[in-house]
Structure 1
């Protein structure tokens, strides 16, 4: 299990290396969003995180790989690299919200990883159970309260 801590203002993994946040491309048919846009990358890197973006991840949303690289992200050559290296995965549609194409990611996840995105755990409880069985921590964005105090999480 990978544990992280905030040290000297930076988020580091258990091995004292910067925590890696992975952004894979979306696989749900017709999905045009991307979990992180290039403009957000500097805020993540300034917090001490390393951002790893799958090549082509932003294309459907109108962003080029160079846009991410110019803001400080590292480009992954393939999807497997993102899941292998990242402690945290940011994805628009995770397994439950992408039950067909998202199934292939199940074999890429490992115990101790965190995945954040829309996952439909109430309508797809079996998918949530599969993630739990793997030891993956999942944050379902659609379950975050939409009260004024919580909007700072947007």
Structure 2
């Protein structure tokens, strides 16, 4: 069980309004710059999945779509990696965005400051639970920003 986080309302509001929105827009721009495009109707499945089961359901949808041999495969692979790639050194993923905010607020420990490997693994496991819980809270807002920007920038 994850203890409830006491995050200052102003900090939380700023995080959701600014850094989270900026990261979502940057991710949308990255996909568009790479020529990774899908039809708008594909984007509608994102909030449906989130509403049905949050982060886990979106991840399931992305993995399922990425396994299919369609022209949308690259899009869904990118979505999957963006929300699931906690071991990535890519600091632009949703996981790392949330991790950075929680570290800054002092809500999780920085496992990199610990030298004992056993303790480091325990911290990493605890942090992952907290990060995923926060990701589940912000995933809808994040992908709403993403979808709006991506849709706006798609050519007709």
RCO comparison, higher one (Cα < 8 Å, 6+): 2
Q: Say which structure is richer in strand.
A: 1
* Structures share fold, TM-score greater than 0.5: no
Q: Bigger radius of gyration, 1 or 2?
A: 2
Query: TM-score, normalization: structure 2?
Result: 0.24
Query: TM-score, normalization: structure 1?
Result: 0.24
Q: Say which structure is richer in helix.
A: 2
